[in-house]
Structure 1
């Protein structure tokens, strides 16, 4: 799959205008407000933690919040964890 298709797959809201509910559940963790505040301040935010604790879910929830206020085309998400991407050169 070409890189362009990977990027479009990661950013489906470019076409739908929204995040699928299973990617951004309604329940918000305690870190969510802090992430949103960091985005408003246009500061770099480092989100680290063990695997499977909800980091990606928090990112999708933040994207969902951003979609309420901004154009879907201005929001870019990319995951370098995808095994299919390990073979590609950037």
Structure 2
């Protein structure tokens, strides 16, 4: 099963922050730019590593909320894939 999602939903879930935390280890990031009604999303090399404390706190909160709200569905999907 594949369900297309928006970049905004990916960002709001905290998953973009989480993925970028991992990518920063290697000097990479997924850049999410909104200019008016235009959205540009692209991978980029970056010189910085990690995020400031407020961004991390917000990211952890969003990700924890996403996990709480979606745990049952994710568990069900994993169970279905093992049948």
More helix by share: 2
Tell me the TM-score normalized by structure 1.
0.24
More strand by share: 2
**Larger RCO (CA under 8 A, 6+ residues apart):** 1
Which one has a bigger Cα radius of gyration? 2
Tell me the TM-score normalized by structure 2.
0.25
